[in-house]
Chain A
Amino acid sequence: MLATLLSTTLVALEGRVIRVEVDVAPGLPGFTIVGLGDASIREARERVRGALRNSGFVHPPRRITVNLAPADVPKTGPSADLAIAIGILIGSEQFTARAGRAALIGEVSLGGEVRPVPGLLPMVAALARRGVRRVIVPAQGADEASLVGGLEVVPVATVAEAVDALRSRRRKAPARPERVELASGRVDGLGARGHVLVEATPVPDLAEVRGQAEARRALEVALAGGHGLLMIGPPGTGKTMLARTIPGLLPPLSDEESLAATIVASVSGEAPIRSLVRTPPFRAPHHTSSYAAIVGGGPRLQPGEVTRADGGVLFLDELTEFSRDVLESLRQPLEDGRVTIVRASGATTLPARFQLVAATNPCPCGYAGDETRCTCAEGVPQRYVGRISGPLRDRIDIWVTLSRVQGRAMVAATEPESSDVVAARIASARDVQRARLGGRLNARLSGRALRAHAAMSAETNRRLADLADSEKLSGRGTERLLRVGRTVADLAGSWSVEIEHLEEAARWRPPSTRPLVALAV
């Protein structure tokens, strides 16, 4: 007999509804799955066989054919396991399901447990959009699936529980206490946009960073305007520590951003999702990361770090140590806020609106500027930072150099500001930017909009030209100066960009554009 059930698969960040047709027919015993499944779907045969046997059901010694439709969508992952298992039980008439279409998502184990799968949120959302009223999901994914309103979520821990749930509409498991409802209208907004959840290590407070007033200020300005930031300094000066405070400095995500972030977190499957992700993602891939790890890809089109950092910060520590390919791959995301993964079967575009924060040593040994410790040959430190290629250079608005904090500065420094204080300033500067026409952060303003929003007086304009001249800035460099100046002005609550704002912003230019006065190295 033929059984037809619904399940889903993932295509990049989107769920796709698939129909699972199971035909249990007389004939030579066999088990075939057709419909463009990947290796993990072919292996579903073995898992399902074991799961049925060990749950007290019979794996029928008949000719079983499973078809996953539509046949032209490649299916990946174990999310259809549960639907296949239940389909065999219905097809071999081991139980009779209630009328009405049910959808099932979940991987099964040989012991018959139902395991969570990554990407549950977008998959359930896809079912909701299709008008499915009831979905059976792995118990561990209940919270995540419940984020989608408009359909009943039935969590099951085993295949046997799934059978029970289908026999009767009454669930045995008690309803989950905290159910985060999402307005049903918003469900339609679920699309190929995402974020990542990282709540691994506790976020340090900015008050724990001693000294480095210049770098703290640079970080504040960068976060306020969404500017790319590069911190250059010897080991132990607090570059990484400063970067780690970022999650505590950024304002929480808006509803829309949050949903997108939660979807990426769901697809990444790094940690169970209990509620919407409200903290902006902070991704810090290691410099040995591969191209695919950064950009995304792999057989299942996994989102890469650039997508996982969407809406938040991508922190590249030891920037100059990343492979050239990886750094070049950042070009498109930095320009367009998205990344396109092209493969023979077609191109997929994923969101990647991250803010770049990077850190590097000033030279290979790390101690340039510290004559007693730097072991690099002459000219090497100058060339080291120069290795950062053009496109990336252009996208880094703020360059800041850190030097070792001297003992007396540690003592003299007043109590450093805490993250809360700085975060409040950042949030209000961002509000100001959002309230402007277009509502974009300064880092993403077009050159024209930037000029318009700068509202500079003639005198300020002249100073900008002076600064650009004296530092031999290119057109792009001048724009970068104005861009950062706009953010400094926003932090100061100034409607127009004034000379003092530009002069502060001028500190953050790349090292190569130092004025000619510094002739001797």
Chain B
Amino acid sequence: MLGVGTGAPAAGVRAVTREDREALAVLLAVEGLGPMTLGRLVDAAGSPVGVLELARHSKAIDLLVDASRPSGDGERAMPADVAVRIVESLRSGDRTLREIERLHLSLVVPDDREYPRRLLAIEVPPPGLFVRGSLEALAADHVVGVVGTRHPSPSGRRIASRIGAALVRAGATVVSGLAVGIDGAAHAAVVAEGGRTVAFIGGGHARLYPTAHDRLADAIVEKGGAVVSEYAPFTEPSRGTFPQRNRLISGASDAVVVVEAGARSGALVTASWALEQGRECFVVPGPIDAPTAAGCNGFLRDWHDLAKIVSGIPQLLDDLGLAAEAGLPVLQAPDPTPQSGTAIVSSRVKLPSASSVLRNSEPAERSVAEAIVHGAVTADELVAVTRLSIGAVLGALTRLESRGLVRAIHGRYEPVGPLAGVDPMAA
């Protein structure tokens, strides 16, 4: 009856019964019951169903507290009020199950084949993931997290879009946190490319945050990606849930790219998790006087031995080992002996040029689009650069917007979709 249980068992692993899945979903909704304690309870009771059996007992509270006790250590048993809430969940559990069904969520557990293998390797893998969509994309050979501030500069947004588009073109899966700003730009660029991306959210599915991204979430699922939460549907996103969620973004990825981060940005938490989990960590550097780059530059300074600099998108793909595998056109290697100090560009990946994206555009459209790729953001600048009349510029903008190449935000125009992935330096 429930959507719970679509996960196929991994080979050689015992099948998880639907009853167990439902019991686990109910237990995951218990406030204050963390993955460690839950793990001990399940071990002690034999199964999630067993835990709920304990909760039906007349001395349920004592039994549960005892079961949660780590062997030989009497001090770290769970508090009695959590046990009380487990007992209460026998009654409230139905609501959670109904919501799971209504939102078409599936509960994926570590024993399932589709449980992301990279997550199994982190310190505390979530005992269950509530998934909307499909986790298949996380089984790709390359999974890269792209994170950053919720208040990006137009340039940061553009870079996030370009990285997202370039990664998906190179065959990698992009993981992020669905937040406004950099996260959203990265997800949206992938969706615009028709690619798959996975968003780990910091609250329950029924409390989707930020609400402004509900359509983005729909689009991610529609394109074969997923929106994933380790929290039960009604869990409110809070100050504490986001940093926890961040460990999943890095944990599900091979590498994390931080695009822009202020001095205290949560993206830095993700970057730290990445280093702790042994993932690669790439950071886009920025001007030393830009607040949106303070966190990035600081992180590069503090972790200069571990964190890597993103010096360009082709270079990033190269460093990730994506270029060769994706079968992208490889540029002729430049002369190996640098002459008169010219740097060797190790770029082997070629991003599409503006002219290839704009192949079918008429001249006004093309010159407006090129001006935008080169950094013109306001109508004033477009008029100045293209020397077209304001009316012609506005008409061209509408056509580019209809084609999904440009969008307007707060009176500024920026490239999206295929145009966002364009290399401004390419001829």
Contacts and interface: CB of A to CB of B under 8 A. Distances in A.
B409 A213 contact: no
Contacts of A369: 409-412
16 contacts: A212-B380, A213-B379, A213-B393, A233-B411, A412-B381, A412-B385, A413-B383, A500-B391, A504-B394, A517-B416, A518-B188, A518-B408, A520-B187, A521-B210, A521-B213, A521-B409
B245 interface: no
Nearest to B393: A213
A360 to B, nearest CB: 13
A249 B318 CA distance: 58
Nearest to A405: B380
Contacts of A520: 180, 183-185, 187-188, 213, 216
A232 B191 CA distance: 29
Contacts of B188: 518-520
A504 B398 contact: yes
Contacts of B411: 214, 232-233, 369, 401-403
Interface residues of A, number: 46
Interface string A475-488: 00000000000001
B151 interface: yes
Given A371-B152, A413-B383, 15 more contacts: A214-B390, A214-B411, A216-B390, A402-B411, A412-B381, A500-B392, A503-B398, A503-B399, A504-B391, A504-B395, A515-B402, A515-B407, A517-B401, A517-B407, A519-B184
Interface string B364-402: 000000000000011111011100001111111111011
Contacts of B410: 362, 368-370, 401, 403
Nearest to A381: B410
Interface in B326-366: none
Contacts of A516: 215, 219
B211 interface: yes
The 9 closest A-B pairs by CB, nearest first: A369-B410, A520-B184, A403-B411, A401-B411, A214-B379, A520-B188, A412-B384, A503-B395, A519-B216
B150 interface: yes
B414 to A, nearest CB: 10
A95 to B, nearest CB: 71
A517 B417 contact: yes
Interface string B63-83: 000000000000000000000
Interface in A92-149: none
Contact of B215 (A233, A374, A414, A519): A519
Nearest to B260: A371
Nearest to A516: B215
A372 interface: yes
A328 interface: no
A409 B210 contact: no
B412 A403 contact: yes
Nearest to A216: B390
Nearest to A511: B408
Contacts of B216: 519-520
B153 interface: yes
Nearest to A214: B379
Nearest to A414: B384
A370 B407 CA distance: 17
A288 interface: no
Contacts of A362: 410
Contacts of A492: 391
A470 B402 contact: yes
A318 B401 CA distance: 29
A59 interface: no
A515 B192 CA distance: 13
Contact-size category for B = 35 or more
Given A369-B410, A369-B412, A520-B213, A217 B390 contact: yes
Nearest to A518: B407
Residue of B210, B292, B391 with highest tally of chain A CB at under 10 A:
B391
Contact of B378 (A371, A406, A414, A521): A406
B153 A211 contact: no
A412 B188 CA distance: 33
A284 B65 CA distance: 70
Contacts of B185: 520
A217 B151 contact: no
Contacts of A214: 378-380, 390, 394, 411
A23 B410 CA distance: 72
Residue of A214, A504, A519 with highest tally of chain B CB at under 10 A:
A519
B395 A514 contact: no
A299 interface: no
Given A503-B395, A519-B188, A379 B378 contact: no
A495 B378 CA distance: 31
B144 to A, nearest CB: 18
B404 interface: yes
Contacts of A378: 150, 180, 210, 212
Contacts of A261: none
Contacts of B153: 371-372
Given A403-B411, A517-B404, A374 B151 contact: yes
B407 A213 contact: no
A518 B412 contact: no
B291 interface: yes
Residue of B153, B409, B410, B412 with highest tally of chain A CB at under 10 A:
B410
Contact of B381 (A370, A406, A488): A406
A408 B192 contact: no
B378 A403 contact: yes
A466 interface: yes
A85 to B, nearest CB: 62
B211 to A, nearest CB: 7
A216 B180 CA distance: 31
Nearest to B399: A503
Contacts of A184: none
A216 B379 CA distance: 11
Interface in B22-63: none
Contacts of A331: none
Contacts of A466: 402
A401 B408 CA distance: 9
Interface in B196-241: 210-213, 215-216, 219
Contacts of A211: 378, 380
B275 to A, nearest CB: 27
Nearest to B381: A409
A507 interface: yes
Contacts of B378: 211, 214, 403, 405-406, 409
